[in-house]
Amino acid sequence: MRHFIRSAAVAIAMATASTVTLSAAMAADISGAGATFPYPIYAKWADAYKKETGIGLNYQSIGSGGGIKQIKAKTVTFGASDAPLKGEDLKSTGLAQFPMVMGGIVPVVNLEGVKPGELVLDGPTLADIFAGKITNWNDAAIKKLNPDVKLPDQAIAVVHRSDGSGTTFNFSYYLADVSADWKSKVGVNTALEWPVGIGAKGNEGVANNVSQTGGAIGYVEYAYAKQNKLTYADMVNKDGKKVEPTAAAFSAAAANADWNSQPGYGVILANQPGAESWPMTSATWILVYKKPSDAVATGEALKFFAWSYAKGDDMAGQLDYVPIPDAVVKSVEDMWAKDIVGEDGKPLYSAM
**pLDDT at residue 297 in the model:** 96
Q: Are residues 116 and 82 in the same domain?
A: no
User: Alpha-carbon distance 337 to 329, whole Å?
Assistant: 12
| C-alpha 312, offset from chain centre | 16
Q: Are residues 329 and 306 in the same domain?
A: yes
Q: Are residues 76 and 142 in the same domain?
A: no
**pLDDT at residue 287 in the model:** 98
User: Alpha-carbon distance 216 to 199, whole Å?
Assistant: 12
Q: Are residues 8 and 114 in the same domain?
A: no
**pLDDT at residue 350 in the model:** 87
In this predicted structure, the answer to whether residue 177 has a pLDDT above a threshold of 60 is: yes
**pLDDT at residue 36 in the model:** 94
CATH of the domain at 191: 3.40.190.10
User: Alpha-carbon distance 67 to 83, whole Å?
Assistant: 11
User: Alpha-carbon distance 253 to 143, whole Å?
Assistant: 27
Contact indicator for 33, 59 with CB cutoff of 8 Å: yes
Which structural domain range is residue 202 located in? 105-254
Number of H helices, E strands in the chain: 14, 12
The DSSP output letter for 322 is B
**pLDDT at residue 25 in the model:** 36
- Among residues 234, 254, 274, the one where a domain terminates is 254
In this predicted structure, the answer to whether residue 120 has a pLDDT above a threshold of 90 is: yes
Q: Are residues 72 and 114 in the same domain?
A: no
Could you tell me if residue 262 is inside a domain?
no
pLDDT tens digits, 303-327: 999 999 999 999 999 998 999 999 9
pLDDT tens digits, 233-278: 999 999 999 999 999 999 999 987 889 899 999 999 999 999 999 9
Q: Are residues 180 and 247 in the same domain?
A: yes
Could you tell me if residue 121 is inside a domain?
yes
In this predicted structure, the answer to whether residue 338 has a pLDDT above a threshold of 50 is: yes
Q: Are residues 142 and 220 in the same domain?
A: yes
pLDDT tens digits, 127-171: 999 999 999 999 999 999 999 999 999 999 999 999 999 999 999
Q: Are residues 94 and 150 in the same domain?
A: no
Q: What percent of the chain has pLDDT over 90?
A: 88
- Cα–Cα distances in angstroms (integers) from residue 163 to residues 39, 51, 192, 193, in the given order: 16, 33, 9, 12
From 269, 241, 246, 278, select the one nearest 325 (Cα to Cα).
269
Q: Count of domains in the chain?
A: 2
**Residue 226 host element (H or E):** helix 222-227
**pLDDT at residue 240 in the model:** 97
Could you tell me if residue 268 is inside a domain?
no
- Among residues 236, 254, 272, the one where a domain terminates is 254
**Residue 285 host element (H or E):** strand 281-289
pLDDT confidence tier of residue 352, bands split at 50, 70 and 90: low
User: Alpha-carbon distance 310 to 88, whole Å?
Assistant: 31
Could you tell me if residue 266 is inside a domain?
no
In this predicted structure, the answer to whether residue 183 has a pLDDT above a threshold of 80 is: yes
Burial class (CB in 10 A: 0-12, 13-18, 19+), 246: middle
pLDDT tens digits, 253-265: 998 788 989 999 9
Chain mean pLDDT for the chain: 91
Could you tell me if residue 62 is inside a domain?
yes
**pLDDT at residue 28 in the model:** 62
CB neighbour list of residue 301: distance below 8 Å, 6 or more residues apart: 30, 32, 77, 78, 288
Could you tell me if residue 134 is inside a domain?
yes
In this predicted structure, the answer to whether residue 21 has a pLDDT above a threshold of 50 is: no
Q: What is the pTM of this model?
A: 0.86
**pLDDT at residue 281 in the model:** 96
Q: Are residues 88 and 136 in the same domain?
A: no
Beta-bridged to residue 236, according to DSSP, are 122, 242
**pLDDT at residue 5 in the model:** 40
In this predicted structure, the answer to whether residue 16 has a pLDDT above a threshold of 60 is: no
User: Alpha-carbon distance 28 to 30, whole Å?
Assistant: 6
**pLDDT at residue 256 in the model:** 78
Q: Are residues 288 and 221 in the same domain?
A: no
pLDDT tens digits, 54-71: 999 999 999 999 999 999
pLDDT tens digits, 187-230: 999 999 999 999 999 999 999 999 999 999 999 999 999 988 99
Q: What percent of the chain has pLDDT over 70?
A: 92
Could you tell me if residue 212 is inside a domain?
yes
Q: Are residues 249 and 110 in the same domain?
A: yes
Q: What is the dihedral of CA 61, 167, 214, 211, to 10 degrees?
A: -30
Could you tell me if residue 238 is inside a domain?
yes
Q: Are residues 154 and 222 in the same domain?
A: yes
From 3, 19, 348, select the one nearest 11 (Cα to Cα).
3
User: Alpha-carbon distance 218 to 121, whole Å?
Assistant: 13
